[in-house]
Amino acid sequence: MKSNLDLVEDCDRVPENPELLYKFLISGYEGTFGHLLETTAQAIEWGEHWEVDHDRRTLKLLGADVEERNKRLHETLVAERDKGTFELLKMWTGKIFPVYGPGKELVLNVERVAAPVFGIITYGIQLLAYQDNPEGPSVWIARRASWKRTFPNMLDSTVGGSLPTGESPFECLLRESEEEVSFKPKLVRDNAVACGTINYVSITDERSKGEQGLLCPEVQFCYEMKIPNDVIPIPGDHEAQEVILLNIEQLKAALAKGEFTPANGCVVLDFFIRHGILNFENEPNYITIASRLHKLLDLQSA
């Protein structure tokens, strides 16, 4: 059985030998945008549009504007994909994720599966829809489809999705809610409440497809939505096998058995903290858990 701290540590992890990581930099901007493994930095053939310093362990992408940087990064990634350098790049999606600089400035776009190669922050949304009953809240939980590339058959939030370039978190929430559980946009607009973020650094392992040990810093924009008892989520895009209603004791049992994906186990724990279900008096690792769920990521972000 897993403790609540075990669940957090399964999601928010510490890399081995962090002093060996390379920093991903972007010309014209202060700060670090990602971290690469030493093996990754040595495997890629860096062209003339990259400034590489193996002594300082830095990789700087050169380019005067976002279009030029996009083109140069894309060319580098396509070349490595075509050479078969990384298993991960064989799963190329064509979906574009944003890389933000100061003031939410979009400084770069990156192919979805390449984000872990560079250790870039990715963003997502998570919604927990719940009923408020006399004995406490019950939450609608989706079970992932068996064909999913990562964490098949495991439990998720009610709605979740990655944030692509050009879409705000709330716009993403509206779209994903309709696609995944058939919630109409008006229902979500009128009832969804933004509840901050959870932030963590996951690391690819044997449960992931592709290379292991890659850093995956993530920011999840969390929402919750109280819905009437006669509103029933209906799976709409085949990404979920089913959506089931679980009360608090059932949620606790599923967490302890490790039935949730690592990220969504943390989403549920954050919900427990907001609703006073998890507190200092009943959780021995309360402060550590609350802090780790909102980790300060030492990278440029939106």
Residue 104: exposed, middle, or buried by beta-carbon count in 10 A (0-12, 13-18, 19+)? Answer: exposed
- Residue pLDDT tens, the chain, 302 long: 999 999 999 999 988 889 999 999 999 999 999 999 999 999 999 999 999 999 999 999 999 999 999 999 999 999 999 999 999 999 999 999 999 998 999 999 999 999 999 999 999 999 999 999 888 999 999 999 898 888 999 999 999 999 999 999 999 999 999 999 999 999 999 999 999 999 999 999 888 778 999 999 999 999 999 999 999 999 987 888 999 999 999 999 999 999 999 999 999 999 999 999 999 999 999 999 999 999 999 898 87
pLDDT at position 97, please?
Answer: 98
Structural domain count, the chain: 2
Tell whether 156 and 262 lie within a shared domain: yes
Tell whether 53 and 161 lie within a shared domain: no
Q: Judge whether 286 lies within some domain.
A: yes
Tell whether 61 and 157 lie within a shared domain: no
Tell whether 46 and 91 lie within a shared domain: yes
Q: Which of 97, 118, 139 marks a domain boundary?
A: 118
Q: What is the domain-level CATH number for residue 112?
A: 3.30.750.160
Tell whether 185 and 111 lie within a shared domain: no
The span from the CA of 263 to the CA of 218, in Å, is: 9
Tell whether 207 and 167 lie within a shared domain: yes
Rg (CA), the chain: 20
Q: Give bridge partners of residue 193 from the DSSP assignment.
A: 224
Domain of 139, in residue numbers: 4-13+122-292
pLDDT at position 236, please?
Answer: 86
Tell whether 59 and 140 lie within a shared domain: no
Q: Which of 87, 118, 149 marks a domain boundary?
A: 118
Q: Which of 88, 118, 148 marks a domain boundary?
A: 118
pLDDT at position 241, please?
Answer: 92
Tell whether 137 and 283 lie within a shared domain: yes
Q: Judge whether 150 lies within some domain.
A: yes
The whole-model pTM stands at 0.95
Q: Judge whether 299 lies within some domain.
A: no
Tell whether 259 and 165 lie within a shared domain: yes
What is the token pair recorded at 191? 């009832």
Q: Judge whether 302 lies within some domain.
A: no
Q: What is the domain-level CATH number for residue 277?
A: 3.90.79.10
Contact 76, 46 (CB under 8 A): yes
Q: Judge whether 27 lies within some domain.
A: yes
Q: Judge whether 140 lies within some domain.
A: yes
Three-point CA angle 122, 126, 128, nearest 5°: 170
Tell whether 107 and 135 lie within a shared domain: no
